[in-house]
Amino acid sequence: MSPALRRFAEEMRLLRRERVAPWVLGGALLLLVAAALNGRALLAAHDAASAALEAESATLVAALAAQAGRGVPAARDPGSVGFSVLTYPAVLPQASLAPMAIGQGDLLPGRYELTARGAHHFLARTELDSPLRLSIGNFDAAFVTVWLVPLLVIGLCYGIVSAERERGVLALAVAAGASAVRFVLGKWWSRVALVVACVCLGTLLAAAATGALMRPGAVLLLAGWILAGALYVVFWFTLALWINAGPGGSERNATTLIGAWLVFVILAPALTNLAATTVFAAPSRVDLTTELREATEAADRDAAAARDQYFFDHPEMQGGSMDNRAYFASVARSEAQIAREMLPLLQAFDAQALRQQQLVSLLQYLSPGTLTYQTLTTLAGSDGARHRQFREQTLRFHGQWSRFFVERLEAGLSMTADDYARLPRFTFAEPSALDLLRRALLPLLVLAVAAAALYLGAVRRLRRLAVV
């Protein structure tokens, strides 16, 4: 057995003797799997609801196509079908690792129910949930990795040098001819290997428990996740080593490490969010509401004028209703007018959200906690970017969907059974796993460099270490 392996075996024996360590490591494994299963349960409801909506919409389309074939007027009228009867669900499919990091996944819409009416009808709608639950946050694998695993590292490592020094073990080892640096690093590497293996195995089991491994691109993304998790663990170990290589006692080291955890995991992300939402505050939703109302009112006035013009042009219809086609043509004009009015406002929201995200992308390098969380949610597609892409693609698709009916309405055409077969279909253009990994590359590199720098600094400090 090589000396390194012997030292590892010895360290494992010591950890087993500290009866808490095996429980803590086993607990971490269990927490990762339980958190991932919890994430799966949360998203399963979304998937089931989306599937039900898609099935319902497909059934309705089939029924309308059959009715159009039989010449039923309501199914042949593009205005009535597009603006009133048919709702099409644009669904964001679950990302491979989504159950591992819920992120914005339970906040931002994962589906939109479209009609030929303006986008403002579906954009403002959110999914039903308890505000209390949302305000507390989710228990997912990203939470366990970013928040709890560093605490485990701190628990295992806060006295890796200082405790040995306080107990006199370090002096004894040096007196027996061992190198203090090699002695400490041997212990340290053993613990790093153990926890990294535990986190990697836990992540793998968690992914398997959610069924993620069966999904396309998942293996690549999971490899990125495991790398991020491992680098994050190594960062905390190197930080603990660096602090331990100083003159402080175990208690002081533990306090310093907890302070670092507080800064990197709690305060830095909260301050980054505060900075992003203060510097690039989102436009007012209240203003959006009042603007929408004014735009709607203006469109209604124009529609009323058009209706008066219609009755002037068709005096034979006075006292009755507009015919269906004229009515829906006026609705289409109103909706287009409102959409035009609202476009700059909605774009202002998007632009500000993008600026916020850019600032977060910059400030994330201040904290390994933020960096890792951002990386994990990027890989899981729950960092908000995937939802933004979904929204953009849905808006483009909605243009197509509306045009399909409006063109037929304006051309005076009726819907046929073939038209129903030609209805546009929405498919989310998924960003490739390689693209996501590319986005995660720089943060991972920075994390690795930070860990390496801390390690080298710690080794240098260890060389000057007083063993008593």
Partner 1 sequence: MVLTVARKEFRGMLRDGRVLAGALVLLLLAVLALASAAARYASLADERAIAQALIAEQWQGQGDKNPHSAAHYGVYAFRPVQPLGFFDPGVLPYAGVSIWLEAHKQNFATGRPADDMTPLARFGELSLAFILQALVPLGLLLMSHAAFAGEREHGTLRQVLAAGITPAKLFLGKFIGLGAAALVLLAPLGVLSLAALAFAGEAAPWAAALSLLVVYLAYFALLLVLALVVSARAASSQAALLVLLAFWACMTFVVPRVAADVGRIVAPTPTMAEFQRAVEGDIATGMGGDPPAERIARRREALLRLYKVSSESELPINFQGIVFAIQDELGHAVYDKQFGLLHDAIDRQADVIEAASLLSPRMALALVSQELAGTSLVHQRQFERGAERFRRELMDVLNRDITLNSRAGQGDYRAGPELWRSTGEYRYVPEPLRLSWARCAAPLTVLALWGIALAIAAAATLRRLRVIAA
Residue 353 has phi, psi (to 5 degrees) of: -60, -40
379, containing H or E segment = helix 368-380
**Binding segment (CB under 8 A) for partner 1, from list 41-49, 59-67, 234-242, 451-459:** 41-49
**Residue 122 binding partner 1, by CB under 8 A:** no
CA-to-CA distance for 123 and 113, rounded, in angstroms?
9
Q: Tell me if residue 178 falls in helix, strand or coil.
A: coil
**Binding segment (CB under 8 A) for partner 1, from list 178-186, 206-214, 348-356, 413-421:** 348-356
CA 332-337-338 angle, 5° bins: 100
What's the distance, CA 453 to chain centroid? 30
Smallest separation (angstroms) from partner 1 to the CB of 274: 5
Torsion of CA 14, 15, 18, 22, to 10 degrees: -150
Question: Judged by CB, which is closer to partner 1: 61, or 148?
Answer: 148
**Residue 51 binding partner 1, by CB under 8 A:** no
Which residues from 366-385 bind partner 1, rule CB under 8 A? 370, 373-374, 377, 382-384
Nearest by Cα to 113 from 104, 125, 131: 125
**Which one of residues 155, 217, 246, 431 is an interface residue with partner 1 (CB under 8 A)?**
155
**Residue 330 binding partner 1, by CB under 8 A:** no
How many residues bind to partner 1 according to rule CB under 8 A?
80
CA-to-CA distance for 329 and 314, rounded, in angstroms?
16
The site string for partner 1 over 236-275 (x = CB under 8 A, - otherwise) reads: --------------xx--xx--x---x--xxx-xxxxxx-
Which residues from 265-324 bind partner 1, rule CB under 8 A? 265-267, 269-274, 276-278, 282, 284-290, 293-294, 297, 300, 319
Smallest separation (angstroms) from partner 1 to the CB of 284: 5
Token reading at 454: 């801390």
Return the beta strands (E) in 87-201 as ranges: 88-91, 111-114
CA-to-CA distance for 226 and 145, rounded, in angstroms?
10
**Which one of residues 7, 38, 79, 97 is an interface residue with partner 1 (CB under 8 A)?**
38
Helix axes 368-380, 218-244, angle to 10 degrees: 170
**Residue 113 binding partner 1, by CB under 8 A:** yes
Question: Judged by CB, which is closer to partner 1: 2, or 278?
Answer: 278
Which residues from 2-31 bind partner 1, rule CB under 8 A? none
**Residue 107 binding partner 1, by CB under 8 A:** yes
